[in-house]
Chains A and B, each alone.
Chain A
Amino acid sequence: MQQETTDSRLGRQHLADRVFQTATMASAGLVFIVLVGIIVSLFVGGWQALTTFGPKFLYTDAWNPVTEKFGALVPIYGTLASSLLALIIAVPISFGIALFLTEIAPHSLRRPIGTAIELLAAIPSIIYGMWGLFVFAPILSSHVEPWLQSTFGNLPVFSILFQGAPLGIGMLPAGIILGIMIIPFITAIMRDVFETTPKFLKESAYAVGSTHWEVVWNVVLPYTRVGAVGGIFLGLGRALGETMAVTFVIGNTHRLSLSLFEPGNSIASTLANEFTEAVGDMHTSSLIALGLVLFLITFIVLALAKFLLLSLESREGTKT
């Protein structure tokens, strides 16, 4: 009697195990199916544009639904430039905040500031866009951009970046808004990885008379660089794909300009703007091809990040 119950229970548990195993395996398999499915459907959808325009699709700047001539240079440039601007702004600030929170801030302040930064990450991107257009852009156009223009507008080479009317709508506001949006992500990860540094390492450094900066730069950062770089790339990944906030302030025009004041376009906002009303087959196909390009850019960025992390890891332990 006793024997039987144990047996049936064992059998039941064995079955439950197998069901559980299958379920988890199916979930994991689903990721691959979805990934491959997306790539295939992007290829199929964008095939008409890719075969018609060939590699020219990537480096021409015409985007004309009337004549059905499409080239993705402007949105590609806009995506990369706005994300680069965002990183230039966000990385030093995030590093500073993380450093302050882990090393300098009194303990009573760490929690509230840390929570406030995490809350920033919870704000929906459309709120950033509206804030950017209605609050930030007017300040930018009446104070910041004229000042930039009068200060740097006459320098050789640099002056190219500050041409055009200071509208408060264009590449610069898009980059700044994106920068603000990715600060909480980078900060949160940097703070968490900085905290993993063993106390005795830091204490030893302080004991031999290092300053805060020396401790962070020579002890904490080398110990945590993999995580820190990972955080930066997570932020970059988010900046590349951001749609609504960028659409509000980038100006949405398909004209190539190096000036930070001129309106431009990003891949994600082009898709958001034009996909619903794209009537022509070639227009739709070009938009899907554009989606494929964004997919590839994100993929390359993540692959580079992984590569960077691997090469950093392999150098670990050797004398630098």
Chain B
Amino acid sequence: MHSFNKRIKRTVMAGAAALSLITGLAHADTAINGAGATFPYPIYAKWAEAYKTKTGLSMNYQSIGSGGGIKQITAKTVEFGASDAPLSVEKLSEIGLMQFPMVMGGVVPVINLKGVKPGEMKLTGSVLADIYLGKISTWNDAAIAKLNPQVKLPNEKITVVSRSDGSGTTFIFTHYLSQVSTEFKDKVGNNTSVSWPAGVSGKGNEGVASYVMRLNGSIGYVEYAYALQNKMTYAQMQNKAGHFVKPDSETFQAAAAGADWKGTPGFNLMLTNQPGAKSWPITGATFILVYKKQEKPEVAKEVLKFFDWSYHHGSQMAESLDYVPMPASVTKLVEETWKNEVKDTKGNAIWTDAMVQK
């Protein structure tokens, strides 16, 4: 028995040695690694590709979800994490992280109702909240009819479609609905996944999009790019200023313009329900997480250089994929924050003004 144990031990150790050899090899090449949110994955991948052709440095990004990204950066297995929902200042300081907004996007309510064309239907925040609460359950409800006198509304049941997986899209959407409806805030609340009181849920933007396209009389919410690419019937929304606006990069940028990034500690800011005549009310930014105290300053420098390059040279690529780039005032603020907050173990700043790649 004893020799058997010994034999097992020997075999296990040999296996472990082989494994460590393999992982050691994988780490040998120079690359920066990040993980997190799925929403910005297409643009991060595009930036990484362009950056690699220019500098030869590759950036590996695993789109495993915001929750996964936060877990990975906490465990220090990646150099940066990415999250669609900003972390609170307490949470940031608890782990020792700083965050900055990287790119923006909008969430769009989409409907499938016979005879209704894209942009024809008008909705307000409170009506949208009541639909998602199940309080408004038919399309010819007086509240919808009042907003849409020119649309012929059928006496059809509304099938509410939501996201089943935890997502930044849901975080932005429920953040907006919680702001415009106290009842929604009390009953459902704001999170990456919530307990929906009505309807069905699909997995991912594509899941919601396919449910909405399949079910007559349904309403759902997807990222702008999905609504655009699938030619879905989006609805107009009433913004804080009382105007009805269509979702496009102009209204998203309008929402971002008025945002007070400077006065918000830790960039912990949501762009929902922003003031401004043209602001799209359901807009949000996606965030990057890095450690304030960097054990490997050389790698951290490369990470910041990559994002700085993306700020200054990636706007067109972002727009081509229907994302909204951060305005110059915000990127300048982010660079300032890097200079002040990201340090090596001796307390020296890693980022300098000279590194800005204009």
Contact = CB atoms under 8 A, between A and B. Distances in A.
B315 interface: no
B193 A274 contact: yes
Contact of B201 (A64, A253, A272, A283): A253
Given A247-B164, A251-B201, A276 B67 contact: yes
Contacts of B214: 133-134, 137-138, 168
Interface stretch (B4-12, B104-112, B266-274): B4-12
B interface bracket (residues with beta carbon within 8 Å of A) = 35 or more
B195 A167 contact: no
A126 to B, nearest CB: 11
A66 B191 contact: yes
Contact of B200 (A64, A169, A278): A169
Interface stretch (A22-30, A98-106, A111-119, A182-190): A22-30
A87 B170 CA distance: 36
Given A133-B210, A263-B200, A277 B7 contact: no
Interface residues of A, number: 39
A167 B191 CA distance: 27
A273 interface: yes
Contacts of B68: 276-277
A63 B195 CA distance: 6
A251 B157 CA distance: 17
Contacts of A109: none
A279 B166 contact: yes
B180 interface: no
B192 interface: yes
Contacts of A168: 214
A279 B67 contact: yes
B159 A277 contact: no
B203 A25 contact: no
Contact of B164 (A134, A167, A252): A252
Given A167-B159, A169-B200, A25 B7 contact: yes
Contacts of A278: 67, 166, 192-193
Contacts of A165: 157, 159
B194 interface: yes
Contacts of B11: 22-23, 26
B16 interface: no
Contacts of A66: 188-191, 194-195
Contacts of B244: none
B220 interface: no
B167 A277 contact: yes
B65 interface: yes
Interface in B23-81: 38, 64-68, 70
A252 B70 contact: no
B200 A274 contact: no
Contacts, number: 108
A136 to B, nearest CB: 11
A253 B189 contact: no
Contact of B194 (A65, A170, A276): A65
A94 B167 CA distance: 40
Given A25-B4, A26-B8, A138-B214, A274 B201 contact: no
B211 interface: yes
Nearest to B217: A165
A33 to B, nearest CB: 8
A174 to B, nearest CB: 12
A320 interface: no
B302 interface: no
B130 interface: no
A276 B8 contact: no
Given A65-B193, A66-B191, A277 B201 contact: no
Contacts of A276: 38, 64-65, 67-68, 165-166
Contact of B191 (A26, A65, A134, A254): A65
B67 A277 contact: yes
Contacts of A134: 210, 214
A67 interface: yes
Interface string A116-147: 00000000000000000110011001000000
B134 to A, nearest CB: 11
A273 B65 contact: no
B7 A22 contact: yes
B165 to A, nearest CB: 4
Contacts of B297: none
Contacts of A63: 195
Contacts of B196: 253
A25 B1 CA distance: 13
A247 B12 CA distance: 38
Of the listed residues B67, B164, B202, the one surrounded by the most CB atoms of chain A closer than 10 A to its CB is: B164
Contacts of A277: 65-68, 165-168, 192-193
B64 A252 contact: no
B166 A62 contact: no
Contacts of B157: 165
A315 to B, nearest CB: 39
Nearest to A137: B214
B119 interface: no
Interface string A63-86: 111110000000000000000000
Which of A269, A273, A276 has most B Cβ within 10 Å?
A276
Interface in B174-194: 188-194
B199 interface: yes
A166 to B, nearest CB: 11
B172 to A, nearest CB: 13
Contacts of B203: 247-248, 252, 272-273
Given A167-B200, A274-B165, A279-B166, A25 B195 contact: no
Nearest to A264: B200
Interface in B203-240: 203, 207, 210-211, 214-215
13 contacts: A25-B7, A29-B8, A64-B194, A66-B190, A133-B214, A165-B159, A254-B195, A263-B199, A273-B164, A276-B67, A277-B193, A278-B192, A279-B67
Nearest 6 pairs of A and B residues by beta carbon: A277-B166, A276-B65, A252-B164, A66-B189, A64-B195, A252-B201
